[in-house]
Amino acid sequence: MSEEAGLKLVEGVKYFHISQAVGLKTVKRVIRAVDGVSFSTMPSETVGLVGESGCGKSTVGKILMRLLNPDNGSVWLDDLCLTSLSGEALRKARAKMSMVFQDSTAALNPRQRVADIVVESLVAQRRIKTVADRRAEAVRLMQTVGLPADMIYRYPHELSGGQRQRVCIARAVSGEPSYIVLDEPTSALDVSVRGQIISLLRDLQNERGFGYLLISHDISLVKHICKSVMVMYAGRVVESGDVVDVLSNPRHPYTQILLKSVLTTQSTGIQLAQSVKGELGNALEEMAGCRFRFRCPYAREICSSTTPELAVHSGGNQNVACHFSDSLS
Ligand SMILES: Nc1ncnc2c1ncn2[C@@H]1O[C@H](COP(=O)(O)OP(=O)(O)O)[C@@H](O)[C@H]1O
Ligand SMILES: [Mg+2]
C-alpha cells in the first residue's frame, strides 16, 4: 500500500474495555482512546501531536512503537507493514524505532547502572558481545548526549532529572533508529534544563536525520521545532497541517480554545479554561457525532448525529474536522 519512506499510522483504532464499579453494580465502559487516526512522519522531520491530557496521544505513540496492538488500522515503516509482522521480523523492524517517555524515573530500571541501561537493546540484539565493547559503546553514547564518561557507573537515582532524560535519549538512539517517538520529553523537567534537552534532540536530528513524533502540551515548543502538527480531541484528530497554518490561523473551535488556554498550561498537561464546560472523559465513549460538541460554542443538531471528517478547509491549507469550520472566522 505504501511505497514512500516514512513512519505511518493508517486509520489507527484502539479501544480500551474497562469495568467500573458504580454502587453495587459493575458497569462496562469502552474508552475510544484512538479512533481513526492517520499521520506520517518523514526522516529529518518533526511532527507535533498536541491535545489535552487523556485525549489519546500516548496511545498513538504506543501503537506506532507496537507496544500496543491496534484494534484496527496499520502501522508502516517505509514499505513494511508492521502490524502484519511478528517474531524475529517484528523485532528487527522495531529496532528502527524508539521512544522517549515523559517520566525518566519510571522509564529507567533503578537497579541497573547507566552503563547497562544505555546498551541494553544492543546487547539484546547481540550487536555487542564482549564486556569491553559494552563499556566502549556506553562511553560513546554518553558523549553523544553530553554526559561525562564516568557517569556510566551511576544508578538512575544518582542523577538529576535532566541527566536521567539524557540517559533515556542515549538508550533511544543506541540502535541508530530512523524514527523516535518523543512523549512529552521535557514536561517533567525544570524549565532551566528543558531548553538544553530540546537542543540536544535537535542536534541529534540534524546529525542523524531522525524523524520525530513530538507529543507535547507545550504549544510554543511545537511552534518552534515542528514542521506540521496534529491536534487531537477525544481520540480523533480535529485539525492538522503545517504548523504555521494551524497555530497562527486555527480553524477548529477546539484548536482555537486550546491556543487561548496556553496561559493556563500546567506541567501536568493542558487544562482548558474554566469557561469551557464538559469533560473529555465522556466524549471518549461517544460513537457518533463530533466528540467536541459537548463543549463547543457552535454545536448544532448535525454535530450529534454525524461525525465530521477531516477535510481541507476552504480558507486555508490545513485539514479540519468540523461541520461549520468554513463559516467560522
Ligand atoms: N491500558 C489502558 N487501559 C485502559 N484505559 C487506558 C489505557 N491506556 C490509556 N487508557 C485511557 O485512554 C485514554 C487516552 O490515554 P492516553 O493515550 O494516555 O492519553 P494522553 O497521552 O493524551 O494523556 C485515557 O482516557 C486513558 O485513561
Ligand atoms: Mg500521555
The enclosing domain of 260 has a CATH number of 3.40.50.300
Instruction: Provide, rounded to the nearest whole percent, the portion of the chain with pLDDT above 70.
Output: 92
| pLDDT range class, residue 275, cuts 50, 70, 90 | very low
Q: C-alpha cell of 45?
A: 522531520
What pLDDT score was predicted for residue 208? 96
Ligand positioned closest to the Cα atom of 14: 1
In a domain, 288, yes or no: yes
What's the grid cell of residue 321? 474536522
pLDDT of 24 reads: 87
Which amino acid appears at position 220 of this protein? S
Residue 283: per-residue pLDDT: 80
Q: Is the pLDDT of residue 94 over 80?
A: yes
235 CA distance to ligand 1 middle (Å): 10
Total domains present in the chain: 1
Enter the C-alpha cell of residue 327: 463559516
Does pLDDT of 261 surpass 90? no
pLDDT for the residue numbered 281: 63
The answer to whether the CB of 75 is under 6 A from ligand 1 is no
Nearest bound ligand to the CA of residue 34: 1
Least confident range from 169-183, 210-224, 241-255, 268-282: namely 268-282
Q: What is the overall mean pLDDT for the chain? A: 90
The pTM for the full model equals 0.92
Ligand 1 lined by 312 (C-beta under 6 Å): no
What residue has cell string 540534524? 206
The values of phi and psi at residue 264, to 5°, are -95, 10
Lowest mean pLDDT among 87-91, 97-101, 109-113, 270-274: 270-274
Report the separation in Å between the CA atom of 313 and the middle of ligand 1, taken as the mean of its atom positions: 30
User: Does 264 score more than 60 pLDDT?
Assistant: no
Residue with CA nearest ligand 1 atom 6: 16
Q: What integer is the mean pLDDT of 245-266?
A: 82
Lowest mean pLDDT: which of 95-99, 169-173, 217-221? 217-221
Answer yes or no: is 156 within a domain: no
327 compared with 150, residue with greater pLDDT: 150
Q: Please determine, for residue 80, whether its predicted confidence score (pLDDT) is greater than 80.
A: yes
**Residue ranges making up the domain that contains 62:** 7-96+177-327
pLDDT of residue 126: 82
The C-alpha angle 214, 255, 55, rounded to 5 degrees, equals: 55
Distance CA 232, CA 254 (A): 9
pLDDT tens digits along 17-48: 999 888 889 999 999 999 999 999 999 999 99
Residue 133 lies in a domain: no
> How many Å lie between the centroid of ligand 1 and the Cα of residue 56?
6
Residue type, 268: T
Residue 151 in any domain: the answer is: no
Lowest-pLDDT choice from 9-13, 133-137, 218-222? 218-222
**Atom nearest to 269 CA in ligand 1:** 23
CA-closest candidate to residue 94, choices 214, 182, 7: 7
Q: Is the confidence at residue 267, as pLDDT, over 70?
A: no
Q: Which atom of ligand 1 is nearest to the CA of 281?
A: 25
Q: What is the pLDDT of residue 274?
A: 45
Which residue lies with its CA nearest to atom 5 of ligand 1? 16
Please report which confidence band the pLDDT of residue 317 belongs to, taking 50, 70 and 90 as the band edges: confident
Residue 105 covered by a domain: no
For residue 62, which ligand has an atom nearest its CA? 1
Whether 182 maps to a domain, the answer reads: yes
Instruction: Kindly report, residue by residue over 207-236, the tens digit of the pLDDT.
Output: 999 999 999 988 889 999 999 999 999 999
CB 251 within 8 A of CB 315: yes
As a whole-number percent, the residues of the chain with pLDDT over 90 amount to 72
Residue 164 forms part of a structural domain: no
Ligand 1 atom nearest residue 183's Cα: 21
For residue 15 and ligand 1, the question of a CB distance below 6 A is answered with no
The residue that leads in pLDDT, 247 or 217, is 247
Q: Ligand 2 centroid vs 178 CA: distance in angstroms?
A: 22
Q: Residue 152 — φ and ψ, nearest 5°? A: -65, -20
- Tell which residue, 320, 301, 300, has the closest CA to residue 310: 320
Ligand 1 centre distance from Cα of residue 148 (Å): 37
Residue 159: inside a domain: no
